[in-house]
A and B are shown apart, each in its own frame.
Chain A
């Protein structure tokens, strides 16, 4: 600091910046990244790398072009890239992964004003765009490399919705990630480790993930489905821990987070059981992202002294 900056109180400050928060999220994502390499082989590392690099490049170039303050160094683009890669199947052509990064960073994030201004989660929206644009390659599921006797295989949710009981993996396989699916969503153990780390570091609060997962479990139970199977399969844990807790696109209040989680859970279950698609996590989070301003307004906290009428 070469210049003395004086400002009004409070003079508290913490060492926590966007960069440190994003670094925490990256650390929390690492176990799932390692798991994806173990489950799907080295190509998953390539997909993650391509997504991360193209996200950073997009962020840097766009901000350079628009003469904005450059945020390519605050690691938020790295998080977006990793989350996007976690939402892709391992066999995705690399140019499609780059296309997804462009959509995530430029269309969803930068066009709305950059970090903190986007109304929807970039990684989720990019995944939905890719799903709509390349429905073939986005639903081409490869079986884990640690079970080498099959080439392509159904995801647990697809198997369950078609009633193929022999294609449904066991709870242990689901928990450890030994089944087909997107890169980062298969290993529940690694995702939970990351989630617990984030909660201990107070990067995220427990409200949204717990309420989200509990809603899905409860609704599955009420609908007569296997609750544990529904919780462990698909992108539920990935979405609940890492994407439904994004700062810019989810409510800040405690009750807002509870409502957000419950809404996500409800929409996920509706799509899984009665929708056309086997999985509904990404759509549920996007739809709730859109409702976030209203939820925030409804759950606004009263000032401590009662305050003036709002």
Chain B
């Protein structure tokens, strides 16, 4: 049950993009077309999967004070490997993702999961968490990219859609359209998702990360959540 929860929480309840609002930069930049979004999602998921496993396995070895540099070194090594693989087997994807592929190193989702989850949990749980978060990231990207590509370019995965391809709303594939779709999706998730931020809760209690955060103030919230 807990394993299942670890997996599904990344999809809606703690969706890295739409609820935790992490990894905004690659989300906005690579959601211009569905193919790019899926490629980006897959690459980030692979890196996240292996980085969570490695960091979880090494969590007792890595000294607390230098943990962030250690995580970065591990993640950077994995990103380099993924980038080489993409360059070798999918050069077109490498071309269209450009700088955003190596920038997975500094993707907040990956570092965030290392810090919030993998450094405190067992290897299997961390792997499941990575898959869930990766799927959540990919789904959010896919959703955004679908909206932006269909309306902005009149195509889906490169296939032309009859009426829409004659009436392109080109702002959707540009940066302003990205922010617009992003905002609307977050609003929709807040409205229809199970986690509804209450208007008065601006402190730790209203934060979607309260349960996993290690800040002193959040401990009470965590306990309260566990007692529920």
Contact = CB atoms under 8 A, between A and B. Distances in A.
Contacts of A291: none
B176 A132 contact: yes
B180 A133 contact: no
Interface in B114-172: 167, 169-172
Interface string A98-138: 01000000010000000000000000000001001111000
Contacts, number: 17
A133 B172 CA distance: 7
A107 B171 CA distance: 14
Contacts of A135: 170
B180 A107 contact: yes
A283 to B, nearest CB: 13
A129 B176 CA distance: 9
Classify the secondary structure of B's interface with A: helix
A129 B174 CA distance: 11
B169 A134 contact: yes
A133 B169 contact: yes
A95 interface: yes
Interface residues of A, number: 9
Interface residues of B, number: 8
B80 to A, nearest CB: 37
A95 B169 CA distance: 11
A95 B151 CA distance: 14
Contact of B171 (A93, A95, A133): A133
A134 B176 contact: no
Contacts of B170: 132-135
A126 to B, nearest CB: 11
A138 to B, nearest CB: 11
The interface centre, meaning the residue of A93, A129, A133, A135 with most chain B CB atoms within 10 A of its CB, is A133
Contacts of B174: 132
Contacts of A134: 169-170
Contacts of A129: 171, 176
A132 B171 contact: yes
A93 B168 CA distance: 12
Contacts of A93: 167
Interface string B50-92: 0000000000000000000000000000000000000000000
A225 to B, nearest CB: 31
Interface string A58-69: 000000000000
12 contacts: A93-B167, A95-B167, A99-B169, A107-B180, A129-B176, A132-B170, A132-B171, A132-B176, A133-B169, A133-B170, A133-B171, A134-B170
Given A133-B170, A134-B170, 9 more contacts: A93-B167, A99-B169, A132-B170, A132-B171, A132-B174, A132-B176, A133-B171, A133-B172, A134-B169
Interface of B: 167, 169-172, 174, 176, 180
Question: Nearest 9 CB-CB pairs, A to B?
Answer: A133-B171, A132-B171, A133-B169, A133-B170, A129-B171, A132-B174, A132-B176, A99-B169, A135-B170
